Structure 1
Amino acid sequence: MRIGIVAGGPERSLAELTEYKEMIDLWIGADRGTAYIMKHQLTLHIAVGDFDSVTETELASIRMHAQQFDQFPAEKDETDLEIAVRIALTHSPDEIYLFGVTGGRLDHELVNVQLLYQLVSKGIKAAIIDNTNQLSLHLPGVHTVRKEANNQYISFLPFTHHVGGLTLTGFYYPLENKTIEWGATLCISNQIINNYGTFSFDDGILIMIKSIEPFKK
């Protein structure tokens, strides 16, 4: 099962959700993310959060359209997104994609990246997706990544203090058995040469960010 969770980040950074309509089996809205799901005319399977960022009129519409509605107090020990992730896990998903989680407060963005670790450590494929970026965490092993556009850039950063044995094959800037640490910019703004590239490493946890520069030919 593939689950899409939509949070209430700035709409200007939101991915075009309808592009994922056929891929996502279950949509969960967190707070204002519920309104984004309805605006894109997608099925609002589950609505969760304190809903302090929607109007009374919007809240009434959310209650009417949501197949499951769970409201929580504003003062709580979890963010609305973390609650949505917790509920998503009860459905035994294979993949979870987070939308509407970038472009706003930096503290929320950073903790949202850390939320991916909860998913990846459970063997769930997960990524953060916005209108120009896709961020994912990877455990040691061999991984394949597909070229999606000529103006796509791929960057690798260590999530843990260091990532060891990193090898990049099929990239414009290849790499062979290198260790990268926090603050290193060695693996920023790479590109896949043909249709696919591979990356492998044997120690640590790696962040991969696929970015599109929409105005660059």
Structure 2
Amino acid sequence: MRAIIFANGEFADPQGARDLLRPGDLIIAADGGTRHALAAGMTPHVVIGDLDSLSPADQARVEATGTQVVRYPSRKDETDLELALLHAVRQGATEIVILAALGGRLDQTIANVLLLSLPELSGLDVRIVEGVQTAFLIQGGRGELLVEGQPGDTVSLIPLGGDAVGVTAEGFEWPLREDTMRFGPARGVSNVLTAQIARVRVRRGLLLCVHASKQVCK
């Protein structure tokens, strides 16, 4: 089952969100992300968070259609997006698309990206989608991951939380073979696809893959 989560960041592509929707998707809004879901013509199945950025009008609107509203206290350890991700996992989602996670406050943007490394999401297909950009994690020791796109697409591979060891990347203008990518230096930024399918493997560590497609990510 797939979940689409609307966070409370910047959201400039309602049509792109509509294009992503599949029958059977679980739609979750993280607090103020409700307004983004409604702007895209989607009624969330669940609204979750402390509701400090959910307008009374939007709350009344979704409650009138049967949306489940899960309210948490404002004094909590998790962000609203984190709560939404954990809720999706509890509902059995194996694939999660996160929208409106970027822009606005820098601290929240960074935290939203780092949420991809939550232990509860390990082994799941979780992606942040922002227009033509998609971000996801490549975990060490989990085999080969395919990056599908068009020649000329930009792909960045950025180590998270430490060095990424034994990195092999094929189908790129600057290929890698059993390389160590150090945490900190920007060596892996702005590589370029040379084929429609590229392959990346990591023996140990985490890589953040950011794929900027020539077409809207779907």
Structure 2 length normalisation: TM-score?
Answer: 0.88
Distance 1:62 1:43, change over 3 A: closer
Identical-pair percentage: 28
Matching of residue 145 in structure 1 with residue 144 in structure 2: no
SS at match of 2:18: helix
Residue range with higher mean Cα deviation, 105-114 or 67-76: 67-76
Q: Which amino acid aligns with 1:136?
A: F
Q: Residue in 2 aligned with 1:6?
A: 6
Residue range with higher mean Cα deviation, 128-137 or 112-121: 112-121
Residues 119 and 126, structure 1, Cα contact 8 Å, conserved in 2 = no
Runs of 4+ in 1 over 6 A off after TM superposition: none
Q: Distance in 1 between matches of 2:24 and 2:163?
A: 33
Distance 1:121 1:30, change over 3 A: closer
Q: Residue in 2 aligned with 1:175?
A: 176
Q: Residue in 1 aligned with 2:59?
A: 59
Alignment of 1:120-131 (within 5 A): 122-131=122-131
Q: Distance in 1 between matches of 2:212 and 2:14?
A: 14
Structure 1 alignment gaps of length 5 or more: none
Structure 2 alignment gaps of length 5 or more: none
Deviation readout 1:179-211 (Å, 9 max, x if unpaired)? 111222222111211211111121111110012
Structure 1 length normalisation: TM-score?
Answer: 0.88
Matching of residue 75 in structure 1 with residue 81 in structure 2: no
Alignment of 1:1-217 (within 5 A): 1-12=1-12, 16-22=16-22, 25-118=25-118, 122-140=122-140, 141-147=143-149, 149=150, 152-212=153-213
Q: Distance in 1 between matches of 2:176 and 2:55?
A: 51
Q: Which amino acid aligns with 2:148?
A: R
Deviation readout 1:48-98 (Å, 9 max, x if unpaired)? 122222332222112223531112233322211111112111111111121
SS at match of 1:205: strand
Residues 15 and 130, structure 1, Cα contact 8 Å, conserved in 2 = no
Residues 34 and 58, structure 2, Cα contact 8 Å, conserved in 1 = no
Q: Distance in 2 between matches of 1:126 and 1:205?
A: 14
Residues 165 and 203, structure 2, Cα contact 8 Å, conserved in 1 = yes
Query: What is the number of residues matched between the two proteins?
Result: 213
Q: Distance in 2 between matches of 1:199 and 1:131?
A: 23
SS at match of 1:88: helix
Q: Distance in 2 between matches of 1:114 and 1:10?
A: 17
Residue range with higher mean Cα deviation, 165-174 or 67-76: 67-76
Distance 1:59 1:16, change over 3 A: same
